[in-house]
């Protein structure tokens, strides 16, 4: 897994011990939140401060070996290495190494951004693809371990709905790209799409990390401005890309 920030970047303490996860035993990918009553902030420095505080609490007060979660995703869609994707987590009581956890880094009064949802969706499917056949993606409150509202009403409803791709309605600014550059993105994604394994429990193939980043960034914009002056609505462009990928994979269209 690719991390935007590794443990050293947020100043993690050493784990007291660590046990590698046996992926063939994993039955659930569980999405959590910290239920922070104060805004966490969007800067890497602010997020790192909260991660250190949570780790101190988990180790010193709860007596756990490390911060409880495996991977974190912030409101900008950045991925944080917590315990690590391949390390057994401590976030879902009584599951005995049959789960892996993702922490959505947001406070109680904050709404998950499209960037966060896009990355959560990608990471959850990526992890489910490594797990046992039939692995499901659930919110903590639906994991069957403890009675909890985690990961909050908005995320819980989103996960129950099947992690739908977010809609992007907030216009920001234009970016410049040549048709050849856009063509390259499509070609690379088609290649990756056709070779990517289908995650257990889903019929959909995941976006690759590179394409996810590119499309998530583009989706924050209302338009893509081509070098020849043409302006294409971003949502239309992404829909066209996905349609072309699907048809190419099905053999209905030749690869670019």
pLDDT at 172: 41
pLDDT at 151: 87
pLDDT at 47: 94
- Alpha-carbon distance values, 134 to 32, 87, 137, 201 (Å): 20, 21, 10, 5
pLDDT at 209: 43
> What homologous superfamily is domain 7-160 in, according to CATH?
Peptidoglycan recognition protein-like (3.40.80.10)
Say whether pTM exceeds 0.85: no
pLDDT in tens, the chain (256 residues): 889 999 999 999 999 999 999 999 999 999 999 988 888 888 899 999 999 999 999 999 999 999 999 999 999 899 999 999 999 988 776 667 888 999 999 998 889 998 899 999 999 999 999 998 889 999 888 877 677 888 889 999 999 999 898 765 444 444 455 556 666 665 565 555 555 554 555 444 444 444 544 554 544 444 545 444 555 555 556 566 656 656 655 666 554 4
pLDDT at 247: 64
pLDDT at 65: 93
Q: Where are the domains of the chain?
A: 7-160, 175-249
């Amino acid at each position: 897994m690719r991390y935007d920030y590794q443990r050293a970047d947020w100043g993690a303490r050493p784990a007291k011990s660590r046990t590698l996860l046996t992926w063939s035993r994993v039955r659930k990918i569980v999405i959590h939140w910290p239920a922070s009553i104060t805004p966490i902030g969007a800067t890497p420095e602010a997020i790192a401060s909260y991660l250190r505080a949570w780790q101190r609490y988990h180790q010193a007060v709860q007596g756990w070996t490390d911060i409880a979660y495996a991977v974190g995703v912030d409101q900008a869609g950045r991925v944080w290495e917590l315990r690590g994707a391949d390390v057994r987590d401590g976030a879902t009581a009584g599951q005995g190494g049959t789960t892996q956890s993702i922490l959505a880094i947001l406070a109680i009064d904050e709404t998950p951004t499209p960037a966060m949802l896009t990355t959560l969706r990608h990471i959850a499917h990526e992890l489910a693809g490594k797990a046992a056949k039939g692995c499901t993606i659930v919110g903590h409150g639906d994991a069957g371990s403890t009675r909890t509202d985690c990961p909050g009403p908005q995320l819980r409803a989103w996960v129950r709905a099947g992690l739908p791709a977010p809609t992007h309605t907030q216009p920001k600014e234009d970016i410049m790209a040549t048709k050849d550059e856009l063509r390259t993105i499509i070609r690379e994604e088609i290649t990756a799409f056709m070779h990517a394994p289908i995650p257990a429990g889903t019929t959909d193939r995941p976006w690759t990390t590179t394409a996810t980043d590119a499309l998530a960034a583009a989706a924050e914009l209302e338009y893509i401005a081509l070098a020849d002056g043409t302006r294409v609505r971003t949502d239309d462009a992404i829909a066209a890309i996905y349609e072309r990928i699907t048809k190419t994979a099905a053999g209905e269209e030749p690869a670019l």
